[in-house]
Amino acid sequence: MFSLAVSPSRRLLPLLLALAAVPAFAQNTAPAAPATELKVFDASLVDKSVDPCENFYRFSCNGWFKRNPLPADQTSYGRFTELAELNRKHLREILEDTSAPLPTRTANEQKVGDEYSSCMDTATVNKLGIRPLQSELDRIAQLKTAAGLPELLGHLHTTEVNAFFGFGSSQDFADSSSVISAYGAAGLGLPERDYYTRTDAKTVEQRKQYVEHVRRIFVLAGEPEAAAQKDAEDVLALETRLAKASLTITEQRDPQNLNHPTDVLKLGKELTHFSLAEYVAAVKGPATGKANNEQPKFLAEFNDVVADTPIAVIRTYLRWHLLHTYATTSLPEAFEQETWNFYSHQLNGAEKMQERWKRCTSRVDREMGEALGQVYVAKYFPPAAKQHALDMTLAIEAAMEKDIDSLDWMSAPTKLKAKEKLHTVMNKIGYPDKWRDYSTLQIVRGDALGNQERVRQFNFARDLAKIGKPVDKGEWYMSPPTVNAYYEPQQNNVNFPAGYFQPPFFSDKEDDAANYGDMGSTVGHELTHGFDDEGRQYDKDGNLKDWWSKDDEQKFTERADCMVKQYDAIEAVPGVHLNGKLTLGENLADLGGLWLAWLAWLDKAHDAHVDMAALTEGYTPEQRFWIAYAQQWCTQTRPEQLRSQAQGDPHAPDEYRTNTVLQDLPEFAQSFSCKKTDKMVSPKPCRIW
């Protein structure tokens, strides 16, 4: 998936292209909802002491920065967090109401309410200690030889313990209507591969901190200090082997690198030291049929690891990933505190853990998002809001068709194919047409860890049940209250959850200039993902199929390389530059999406006979459009988080999603009478769409 803010840590599956980035282990951690009314365009946030032609981000956002100091429990805090907190407040009210054990509750209300109550019951969680996990720890301790690993690993995978490799369903790259088995790289405790391979002083320090973190978790689980230290070092050594055999995050952006069709039986023969048949039986997956081996080099290394790693080290590694999987709201607070200390504090700079109710609300939303979201939508997303969202989406799509026709670098046959793909895009707005069925999921009040285990088993089984069946294009991969959006390339659809269509991103009370500059650019962003460096490789049906002429492909690549170099030159923190290839898809979507929103808004303004010289709160309609775009990205970010984001996130930091994009648009410069020598005017602007 291609999304605005959230990028999943694991490629298996689906691939989302999302709008905005949320740091791992720091998600959904906003402070109290703001007392002031959220607006799409807010003149009070503008800092007139800053020249808009020198730094438009600071011009548009300095007032917001002064009003919103970075909270201690945040690694970053921005407009997305403002709205996410408001939505979380609404979810909390729902969960507190449904947590009362009344006989009038619906089945879904019982599940979300009892899960929330169990999560909030820290006294019981602390009292139980690790006893709820003891049977799983014993199961690992009983592993005597590598011959028993397939069955054990299969069992652990059903509860989403992220050990060794990933297994799940996937759309077939060659036939997007088919769902097949997929095997991919996994099994790392650090955020991504390069944390294990970089040699700079900061990363070396982070690896030492990671070993100390693993050691502390082992000690909390009852291991002697000396044994825990050795075990932690063994974990790092084993994970380093796996990491070195994995594709880089940049390499994973190219779907061609992940397309390695095979079949289950053939793959089983290649894994000479691991019985894939026994593993598949343990997870209740298909024993035959087509499969995709996303990273053959990785699975080959895994096969060698099984052959030459002492069984005691394998047990240690599995024990760590089991504890790591549950070391948040399901285990005593000391585990959660230690997990927060490493992932949120040391890696990303947070100074304080968020309140328990926020963590539990986020947990229920992750686990049963559609059960909770169904209640949320009924209260906070009226039908009129859905219609407004659809109208804007259709207007942006119409603008893209005109834009394709106007391109001077693309040939007529390729333009025709591009418009065919555009006309096939499915628009999904607000919430699913068919809600997920949780009737077979059992939630037991007072059993926080058991509930989490059963939820994961439910979700894993639900995922495997897709294999061999037609693709469900109506399925959602974000919950309705989520403040985000995404494009799914193998289904060719754009998805805008209900939680997003409200201030500070969209409001019926504000004019089209503000709404199109903000939410319109988001709609255009997701639509452009279908035609970025990754999305353009899929045809109108979502198949990985080349529909470009060689000449057009070369021209596209030349224009994309302009943006790669542009973002490579940006130093996010001292000594760390952005990765232009890693962020290319999001950068293309930011620029293309804003351009499409501009075109669509100009059409609306023309039809409405908008006076482009009229001032509202001191700004012309054009200026309001650009300011609204910039103000959606107002974000405070800690240096540690900026470093992590620059090294591993496909989204550039928000300041550059504003200034760098606008520097490439002469229309922006004209709106503010910027000179060619001003910083907000690129001497060599990049452009594709």
Q: Is the domain of 315 the same as that of 394?
A: no
Looking at residue 34, what is its pLDDT? 44
What CA–CA distance (Å, rounded) separates 531 from 395? Answer: 18
Find residue 429's DSSP bridge partners: 496
| 251 exposure class (CB count in 10 Å sphere: 0-12, 13-18, 19+) | middle
Q: Is the domain of 499 the same as that of 583?
A: yes
What CA–CA distance (Å, rounded) separates 164 from 309? Answer: 13
| Full residue range of the structural domain in which residue 614 is found | 2-23+71-91+381-434+474-671
Domain assignment of residue 499, yes or no = yes
DSSP-assigned letter for residue 387: H
How many C-beta atoms lie closer than 10 Å to residue 310's C-beta?
10
Q: Is the domain of 140 the same as that of 262?
A: yes
Model confidence pLDDT, tens digit, residues 507-549: 999 999 999 999 999 999 999 999 999 999 999 999 999 999 9
Question: C-alpha angle with apex 344: 457 to 78, nearest 5 degrees?
Answer: 100
Domain assignment of residue 598, yes or no = yes
Residue type, 99: S
Mean pLDDT of 37-60: 97
Query: b/e per residue, 551-573, with b = 16+ CB within 10 A?
Result: ebeebbeeebebbbebbeebebb
Q: Which residue has the tokens 């059960």?
A: 371
Domain assignment of residue 453, yes or no = no
Residue 134 reports pLDDT greater than 90: yes
What CA–CA distance (Å, rounded) separates 500 from 483? Answer: 5
Bond before 639 cis per omega within 30 degrees: no
Mean pLDDT of 321-341: 97
Domain assignment of residue 253, yes or no = yes
Looking at residue 3, what is its pLDDT? 59
User: Do 488 and 476 contact (CB within 8 A), yes or no?
Assistant: no
Under the phi-then-psi rule, with left for phi > 0, alpha for psi from -120 to 50, and beta for the rest, what region is 628?
Answer: alpha
What CA–CA distance (Å, rounded) separates 389 from 428? Answer: 10
What CA–CA distance (Å, rounded) separates 667 from 629? Answer: 14
Domain assignment of residue 541, yes or no = yes
pLDDT band per the 50, 70, 90 thresholds, residue 37: confident
From the centroid of its chain, how far is CA 306?
32
pLDDT: is 200 or 382 the higher one? 200
Mean pLDDT of 648-655: 97
E strand or H helix at 183: strand 179-185
Mean pLDDT of 244-250: 98
User: Do 223 and 231 contact (CB within 8 A), yes or no?
Assistant: yes
Residue 493 reports pLDDT greater than 70: yes
How many residues can be counted in the chain? 689
Model confidence pLDDT, tens digit, residues 135-145: 999 999 999 99
Model confidence pLDDT, tens digit, residues 190-210: 999 999 999 999 999 999 999
Domain assignment of residue 194, yes or no = yes
Longest dimension (CA), the chain: 79
Question: For the chain, what is the mean pLDDT?
Answer: 94
Contacts 24+ apart (CB under 8 A), 57-66: 57/630, 57/633, 57/654, 57/655, 57/658, 57/659, 59/630, 60/627, 60/630, 60/631, 60/634, 60/658, 61/630, 61/631, 61/633, 61/634, 64/631, 64/634, 65/634, 65/636
Q: Is the domain of 87 the same as that of 140?
A: no
Q: Is the domain of 85 the same as that of 140?
A: no
Domain assignment of residue 13, yes or no = yes
What CA–CA distance (Å, rounded) separates 663 from 682? Answer: 5
Q: Is the domain of 625 the same as that of 521?
A: yes
Instruction: Specify the CATH number for the domain of residue 618.
Output: 3.40.390.10
- Write the CB contacts of 347 (distance below 8 Å, at least 6 apart in sequence): 25, 191, 206, 640, 644
From the centroid of its chain, how far is CA 523?
17
Q: Is the domain of 144 the same as that of 76?
A: no
Q: Is the domain of 513 the same as that of 568?
A: yes
Under the phi-then-psi rule, with left for phi > 0, alpha for psi from -120 to 50, and beta for the rest, what region is 263?
Answer: beta
What CA–CA distance (Å, rounded) separates 279 from 268? Answer: 10
In 245-382, which residue ranges form alpha helices assigned H by DSSP? 264-270, 276-283, 296-308, 311-326, 333-340, 356-367, 369-380
Residue 119 reports pLDDT greater than 80: yes
Looking at residue 13, what is its pLDDT? 44
Q: Is the domain of 554 the same as that of 654?
A: yes
**How many domains is the chain partitioned into structurally?**
2
3-state secondary structure 202-266: HHHHHHHHHHHHHHHHHHHCCCCHHHHHHHHHHHHHHHHHHHHCCCCCCHHHCHHHHCCEEEHHH
What CA–CA distance (Å, rounded) separates 44 from 673? Answer: 22
Residue 455 reports pLDDT greater than 80: yes
Q: Is the domain of 402 the same as that of 529?
A: yes
Domain assignment of residue 321, yes or no = yes
Residue 23 reports pLDDT greater than 60: no
Q: Is the domain of 422 the same as that of 276?
A: no
Instruction: Specify the CATH number for the domain of residue 269.
Output: 1.10.1380.10
pTM, rounded to two decimals: 0.94
User: Do 638 and 348 contact (CB within 8 A), yes or no?
Assistant: yes
Residue 7 reports pLDDT greater than 60: no
Q: Is the domain of 176 the same as that of 311?
A: yes
Model confidence pLDDT, tens digit, residues 343-380: 999 999 999 999 999 999 999 999 999 999 999 999 99
What CA–CA distance (Å, rounded) separates 454 from 135? Answer: 15
What CA–CA distance (Å, rounded) separates 512 from 492? Answer: 27
CA dihedral 379, 385, 390, 391 (to 10 degrees): 170
